[in-house]
Chains A and B, each alone.
Chain A
Amino acid sequence: MSQITDAPRRSSLQGATLPKWTPWAIAAGSVALGLGISAAAGLDSKIQWGLMAAVFFVIASYGVAARVEGPRQAKDRVATSLVWVAFLLAVVPLVSLIWVTVKRGVKVLDGYFLTHSMGLITDTEPGGGIYHAILGTLEQVAIATVISVPIGVLTAIYLVEYGRGRLAKAVTFFVDVMTGIPSIVAGLFVLSFWIIILDMGYSGFAGSMALTILMLPVIVRSTEEMLKLVPNELREASLALGVPKWRTIMKVVLPTSIGGITTGVMLAIARITGETAPVLLLVWGSSFINTNPFEDPQASLPMYIYLQYANSGGSGAAYDRAWAAALTLIAFVMILNLAARGIARWKAPKTGR
C-alpha cells in the first residue's frame, strides 16, 4: 500500500485543471471564428458575428473543459460563460447608447449652448441653446420633489411603523397600482382636472403635479424597503428607554435609514427627469426663458429634445441640438445617481473599526 515513488503522485483531491488564460483564449478563438465565418459568408451585420461568437464561446468552453477537467467542471464553466455572455449582451446596448450620444452631442454642446435660450431662432436654423429647458426641468423636478418627498416618506412611515389592517393594505395596493400608471395617463389626469375643469393655464407647476403622481409610488416603495431594513431591536432599544414612538422614528429609525431613503429619492428624481409625455401635455413648451413655474408655458429638456426632432424638418442644426440636449440630460441624471451613491456611503451606519 505505502509505496514510495520518485515521480510526484497526484493526490485524490487534485484533478486536471485548465490554465487560467483558457477562457480568454476560447473567447479570442470564438471571436475569430465568428469573424471568419461572417467574412466567408459575406454577412455584414456586427450582430451576427457577435452572436455566433457567443454561441461558439459557450460550446467551446464546455467541450474543452469536459475533455480536460471532467463533466462537473464543464457544467460550471458553461454556467460561468453564460453569465459572461448575458453580461456583455446587457452592456453592449448601454455602451453603444452612451457612445453615440456623446459622439453626436458634443458637436454643439458648449458654454453658449448651456446659457442661452432658443429665443426667436427657428428650429431649422443653427444657434440657440437649452438654458430655458434646463431651467424648466430643474424647477419642475424641484417642485415635484418638494411635494412628493414629504408625502411619500410619511406614507412609508405609516405603512411600516403604524399601518395595520385594511387601511394599510388598501394604501399598499394603491401605491402598487400607481407604480404602473403610464406617464401619459398621469398627464391626462392633471390636464382634465387642472387645466380643463379648474381652467388653469399651462405651466411648469401643472407638469410638476403629473411628475409628483409618477414619483410618489417610487419614493413610498423605496422608503418602505429601507425602513423595513432597520432592525426591530433598535426600535425596541429606544422604546425600552422610555422614548415615545414618534421620537423613536424621528431620532433612531430615520437616521439609521436616511442613506437608503436619500438614494431612493435621488433615483426617483432621475426617473421623472426624463419624463416627456406629461410635460408635453401640461407645460406646453416655450422657446423663451420663463423663470416662473406657476404661470405660462415653460420648456423642459426631454420636451426640447422631442420638439427639436419633431419640428426640425430634417435640419441638421436641430438634430445636433437634440443630441446635445440628450447628452446634457444623461449627464444630469448620472450626476444625480453619483450624488445618491455618495450620500448613501456618507450616511451609512459606520462600524468605526
Chain B
Amino acid sequence: MAKRIDISGLNAYYGSFRAIEDISMAIEPRSVTAFIGPSGCGKSTFLRTLNRMHEVTPGGRVEGKVMLDDENLYGAGIDPVSVRREVGMVFQRPNPFPTMSVYDNVAAGLRLNGNYKKSELSDIVEKSLKGANLWNEVKDRLNKPGSGLSGGQQQRLCIARAIAVEPKVLLMDEPCSALDPISTLAIEDLIGELKERFTIVIVTHNMQQAARVSDRTAFFNLSAVGQPGKLIEIDDTERIFSNPSVQATEDYISGRFG
C-alpha cells in the first residue's frame, strides 16, 4: 500500500522567486520522515510539491522529478487530482468543513469523489475514525458539526478524513503546532500507528517531536533571507540528532544558530 518517493533535482518557484533549490532525496515506504529547519527554508513548500498542492498557490511552479514508485508526478499527462488521491495531506491548522457533521467530514473525500459503495461508507467512516483514535470520543455525536470539536479532536478528524480515501502517502504540515501537549501526544502516537500502513512525511518545528516520531530526518536551511532553501542533509534520525555529518545541522539542533 505505502509507496516510495524519489525526488531528484526539484526546484519550486513562487512567480520568479525560487523558494527551494535542487532537492534530491528518497523517502522510504512505511516510515516517518521528518523535515526540520528554520522558518522560510522551504520545508512546507517542498512538502506541498509532493502532492502537487504547490501549484494551487497563484504563481506556484515546479521543476524536477518526483517519482512515486515508478510514476513521475510531474510527468506529462499526470492529473493532479489523481495524485492528491494517492498522496493525502494534513494541514497546520485543523480545517474541518464547517457545513458538515463529523460523519460527513470523514466521508467527504469519498462522497465528493463519488467513487464509493453506499453500504461501505459507514464502515469506512468508523474505520477511519478508529484509525485516527477519535472514534470513542465522537461515536455519540457523529451528526454534530465537526467544528464543534476541540482543536486536537479537529486535527484528528482531519487525519481521519485524509486516511478515509486510502492514500499511499500522508503528508503532515506541522500538524501539532496549534495543539496542546496532550493532543500532540495523541497525534504522535497516531503517527506511530499510521506508519504501519502509510508513508508519512511530517514537517515540524519541534525537534523533540522529530526525534520522537521519525525514522529519518531531513534538515533544510537557507543561506540568507531571500535566498532559496536547500536540503542540507538527510539521514537516520538517530544519526542526525547524535552525530550529524554537517556542522550547520549540529548548530541548528543544539540551538547555537539563528
Residues of A with Cβ closer than 8 Å to B? Answer: 164, 231, 233-244, 247-248, 251-252, 255-256, 349-353
Contact = CB atoms under 8 A, between A and B. Distances in A.
B237 interface: no
Given A236-B95, A241-B85, A349-B99, 19 more contacts: A233-B95, A235-B56, A236-B89, A237-B97, A237-B158, A237-B161, A238-B108, A240-B51, A240-B53, A240-B162, A241-B161, A242-B85, A243-B113, A247-B112, A252-B97, A349-B98, A349-B147, A351-B147, A351-B148
Contacts of A247: 112-113
Contact of B145 (A243, A255, A256, A351): A351
A237 B93 CA distance: 10
Contacts of B53: 236, 239-240
30 contacts: A164-B58, A231-B95, A233-B91, A235-B56, A236-B56, A236-B89, A237-B95, A237-B96, A237-B161, A239-B56, A240-B53, A240-B84, A240-B89, A241-B85, A241-B162, A242-B84, A242-B85, A242-B109, A243-B109, A243-B113, A244-B81, A247-B113, A252-B108, A255-B99, A256-B98, A256-B99, A349-B99, A349-B147, A350-B147, A352-B145
Interface in B82-129: 82-86, 88-89, 91, 93, 95-99, 108-109, 111-113
A164 B56 CA distance: 13
Contacts of A164: 58
B144 interface: yes
Contacts of A251: 108, 111-112
B165 interface: yes
A243 B91 CA distance: 16
Q: Which of A231, A234, A236, A237 has the most chain B CB within a 10 Å cutoff?
A: A237
A255 B97 CA distance: 10
Contacts, number: 89
Interface string B30-67: 00000000000000000000010100101000000000
A253 to B, nearest CB: 10
A193 to B, nearest CB: 38
Contacts of B88: 240-242
A162 to B, nearest CB: 11
Contacts of B86: 242
A134 B162 CA distance: 53
B218 to A, nearest CB: 21
A248 B84 CA distance: 13
A193 B121 CA distance: 55
B147 A248 contact: no
B98 A241 contact: no
B177 to A, nearest CB: 14
Contacts of B58: 164
Contacts of B56: 235-236, 239
Given A236-B53, A237-B91, A242 B113 contact: yes
Contacts of B161: 237, 241
B98 A233 contact: no
A233 B95 CA distance: 6
Contacts of A256: 97-99
Nearest to B89: A240
A259 B48 CA distance: 32
